[in-house]
Amino acid sequence: MSPESQIPTRTRAPKRFAIGLAVFYATVFGVVGTYLPFFTVWLKAIGIEPFWIGVIVAMPAITRFTVLPFITAEAERRHALRPALVITAIVTTLGFVCLGVLRGPLAILAVFVVTACAWTPMVPLTDGYALKAVRRFGLNYGPLRLWGSAAFVVGAVVSGVLADIIAPEHLIWVIAASAGLGVIAAFGLQPLDAPGAHPAPPARRVALLRNPAFLAIIIAGGLIQGSHAAYYAFGSIVWQGAGYSGMTIASLWILGVLAEIVVFALSPRITLSPALMMLGGALGAVLRWLITAQDPPLAVLLPVQLLHGLSFGLTQLGTMGLLVRHAPGHLIARAQGYYAACSGLAMSSAAMLSGLLFARWGLAVYDLMAAVALIGAVVVVAMRRRLDTHDQPHNEGSGG
């Protein structure tokens, strides 16, 4: 048994736990804030072709449905979420540092695969760690998670400023430095597992995948979040091609995340059921991508970016709320792994397809993204009655 499981929960104040978690959320998404707007810009700057850009940026999504579920399951089985977060933070930082000295697409792809194997489990591991605290300490997920979104804004602002100052081929070092902060924050996380926690029987683990409601949650959530693939891969490239400055590009990303922050901050007051939150997020995504496909001017693009609060933020809240309802507490990190795997499959498939379609049809790729989100909405509607029930009791006794 790890040292985590030997520390009684009652000796740790929820406030101290929440502060450490909020800081770590900030560092995790600070990396995302520097990566999403400018990683593809860096790839283009060093001469990587659009096809290879699509393949490379699909790697994190591919690891979500291959390597990631095994990492989250093993971390939970060993009651070692905190050590897993420390290790993945270190490997992620080393990976981005190595990328900075590479130039060939195959070499970048190989190193980025290894980096993604460590980087992609960080969010579901952190969310699993957070949802255990939601149950154990009565904390609210939204206000904790918003610090990650706030850090995304800071990361995007810093990157936007630097993108107008330093050469695009050096932007990778901004991402690597952001990842380094995550290593420091990881050591500030508090242990969570309860004493005497034991792994769940294999039958209970498999039961998650036999639960129609749970399958509907991860499929719908994966499709809605996967519909962001073209935006993540080519949004900045399109805006750069339209002549927008680095700061304008960063501001567009920031505007979307500010809407997301508002949704997270107001989440304790939202009275919609989690299923309705997911449905609202899906419909927001459909509207967002249909408008984006029309190559709107900046005056229209600005308010359209606010729909990120629905397409991502409301979807995330609904998904987490449903996972708390339908997954036992001692399997919550494993449930996060299954969800990440499903969203990774959707995201990677959409990203690689986007790479092919974007080169030929440009912004019409967003019409495909709207169709993906619409399918997610159909799944929610079809299973809404089942989703709105509570399948699992709140199990506080077993940690992970």
Structural tokens at position 221? 């959530």
Round to whole Å and give the CA distance between 231 and 228: 5
Find the range with the poorest average confidence among 38-52, 150-164, 279-293: 150-164
Round to whole Å and give the CA distance between 232 and 236: 8
Round to whole Å and give the CA distance between 173 and 99: 9
Task: Give the pLDDT confidence score for residue 366 in this predicted structure.
Answer: 94
Residue 198 in this model has a pLDDT that exceeds 60: no
What's the predicted TM-score (pTM) here?
Answer: 0.72
pLDDT digits (tens, 9 = 90+) for 199-237: 555 545 557 778 899 999 999 999 999 999 999 888 988
pLDDT digits (tens, 9 = 90+) for 325-361: 888 777 888 888 888 888 878 887 888 788 888 878 8
pLDDT digits (tens, 9 = 90+) for 288-327: 999 999 999 999 999 999 999 999 999 999 999 898 888 8
Mean pLDDT score across all residues of the chain: 85
Residue 80 in this model has a pLDDT that exceeds 90: no
Residue 42 in this model has a pLDDT that exceeds 60: yes
pLDDT digits (tens, 9 = 90+) for 109-133: 999 999 999 999 999 899 888 888 8
Q: At what angle do helices 274-292 and 229-241 cross, to 10 degrees?
A: 30
Is there a contact between 282 and 376 (Cβ–Cβ < 8 Å)?
yes
Task: Give the pLDDT confidence score for residue 249 in this predicted structure.
Answer: 86
Is there a contact between 26 and 152 (Cβ–Cβ < 8 Å)?
no
Residue in the block written with tokens 């709320």: 321
**Mean pLDDT along residues 226-252:** 87
pLDDT digits (tens, 9 = 90+) for 86-97: 999 999 999 999
**Mean pLDDT along residues 24-49:** 90
In this prediction, residue 397 has a pLDDT band, given cuts at 50, 70 and 90, of: very low
Highest mean pLDDT among 11-25, 92-106, 249-263: 92-106
Task: Give the pLDDT confidence score for residue 195 in this predicted structure.
Answer: 42
Task: Give the pLDDT confidence score for residue 396 in this predicted structure.
Answer: 39
Round to whole Å and give the CA distance between 323 and 334: 11
Could you tell me the domains of the chain?
A: 11-188+203-387 (1.20.1250.20)
Is there a contact between 388 and 273 (Cβ–Cβ < 8 Å)?
yes
Counting every residue written for the chain, the total comes to 400
Task: Give the pLDDT confidence score for residue 301 in this predicted structure.
Answer: 94
Alpha helices in the chain (DSSP H): 14-45, 50-64, 68-77, 81-99, 105-119, 122-137, 141-163, 172-186, 202-207, 212-226, 229-241, 246-266, 274-292, 298-305, 308, 315-326, 332-361, 365-387
- Using CA of residue 256, residue 262, residue 265, residue 267, what is the dihedral sign? negative
**Mean pLDDT along residues 76-88:** 90
CA 239, chain centre distance (Å): 23
Task: Give the pLDDT confidence score for residue 26 in this predicted structure.
Answer: 94
Between 78 and 12, residue with greater pLDDT: 78
Is there a contact between 366 and 289 (Cβ–Cβ < 8 Å)?
yes
pLDDT digits (tens, 9 = 90+) for 254-293: 899 889 889 999 988 898 999 999 999 999 999 999 999 9
Is there a contact between 149 and 29 (Cβ–Cβ < 8 Å)?
yes
Find the range with the poorest average confidence among 9-18, 165-174, 371-380: 9-18
